[in-house]
Amino acid sequence: MKKALIALAALGLTGGVAVAQSSVTLFGVLDVNMRYTKSSGNTLKQLGTDGLNSSRLGVRGTEDLGGGLKAGFWLEGALNPDTGTVDSTRFWGRRASVSLMGDFGEVRLGRGKTSTRLHIDDFDPYSTTGLGDVAKLYSTLGSGSDTLNRADNMVQYFLPSNLGGVYGSVEVAAGEGTVGRKALGGRVGYRQGPLNVAGAYETTTGVGNAKFKQMSVGAAYDFGIARPSVNYSQNEFGSREQKLLTFGLTVPLGQGQILASYTDAKADGPALAGVGDAQLFAASYVHNLSKRTALYTTVAQIRNEGLGRFAVSGSPAVANGAKSSGFDVGVRHSF
């Protein structure tokens, strides 16, 4: 048996260039918290998830094809560690893609985040996760768009990383006969040292063959003692419009950091159920026990006006113009 194991090991070392030049990585995040939320007088106490980072399980890999060309794949699905369940509709719902990479950049095919979502992640201190998730205020304005965060059937191109700080991507998503899934978008930015400035645009074919448009511009600067950020987004569908302005702040503090954000959302045009003016306030403290493990606590509140029914993550249903608040304490571990 010992000789057989030695032979197999030797075969693994000499069994071909392709094996030696390939890599596969299993990775994941487990994020669980004790959460209390209140909306319209109703309260909910729960063991929640995704307070600091989204819980996930994934596998990714690359293969060196020679001549500076690489092939890669990425499969990533959502987890619910509080119940041990996975996404009920998509096992690899967060990302499922195959790509070719080289000096030219990256061509990626499959499901993943859209350019506008990647942009908003960069300028939201909460990276659109948890009680402070700014995306909770974003509306598709009755368009039926299914590309606000991620899109299916995408072909994306990402610029190479050696352009002196310039980065960007363009994408097209096939609707395949489904309303709200045919999309075209992109982003371009400049990231050098402490500075990051960028803009993004996405258009999706919605109901009635009309276009849902999302435009965003943002900037951030890391002063060392603090990283302030600002982002402006504008969503349009027909005569309806939503404008959102977000101010964010990240402050290092010992082994941790303080996160804070304020978002003001304004809705214009014909009335639409659930959509109105709203403000989101959020503040957090994150304490890093190691590079992979952190404790955190967050408090947040959404103040709705008019027909607005926006709610913080995990909140009970909200009445028109009512408040939605939340508080949590949790732990995040990545591997």
Q: Reply yes or no on whether the pLDDT at 16 is more than 90.
A: no
pLDDT at residue 68, as a whole number = 96
Quick one: residue 220, left, alpha or beta (phi over 0 = left, psi -120 to 50 = alpha)?
beta
Average pLDDT over residues 192-221: 98
Instruction: Reply yes or no on whether the pLDDT at 176 is more than 50.
Output: yes
Tell me the pLDDT band of 87, cut-offs 50, 70 and 90.
confident
Does the pLDDT value for residue 88 go beyond 80? no
CA distance 248 to 217: 14
First to last CA, the chain: 33
Say how far apart CA 256 and CA 224 lie, in whole Å: 14
For residues 272-276, give the mean pLDDT: 96
pLDDT, mean of residues 200-227: 98
Query: Does pLDDT of 327 surpass 60?
Result: yes
CB atoms within 10 A of CB 98: 13
Mean pLDDT (the chain) is: 94
Question: For residues 51 and 33, what is the distance between their CA atoms, to the nearest angstrom?
Answer: 7
- Provide φ and ψ at 330, rounded to 5°: -150, 180
Determine the CATH number of domain 25-334: 2.40.160.10
pLDDT > 90: what percent of the chain? 92
What was the pLDDT predicted at 288? 98
Per-residue pLDDT band for 9 (boundaries 50, 70, 90) equals very low
At residue 19, does pLDDT exceed 60?
no
User: Two tokens at 248?
Assistant: 């964010």
The percentage of residues in the chain with a pLDDT greater than 70, rounded to a whole number, is 94
- Copy the structure tokens of residue 308: 């607005």
* DSSP symbol at 315: P
Residue 89's pLDDT band, with cuts at 50, 70 and 90, is confident
CA 187/CA 198 separation, integer angstroms: 7
Residue 162 clears pLDDT 50, i.e. is over it: yes
* 232 closest CA partner among 250, 249, 213, 219: 219
pLDDT tens track for 25-69: 999 999 999 999 999 999 999 999 999 999 999 999 999 999 999
- Mean pLDDT along residues 201-210: 97
Contact (CB, 8 A) for 44 and 320: no
Q: Measure the CA–CA gap between 238 and 243, rounded to whole angstroms.
A: 14
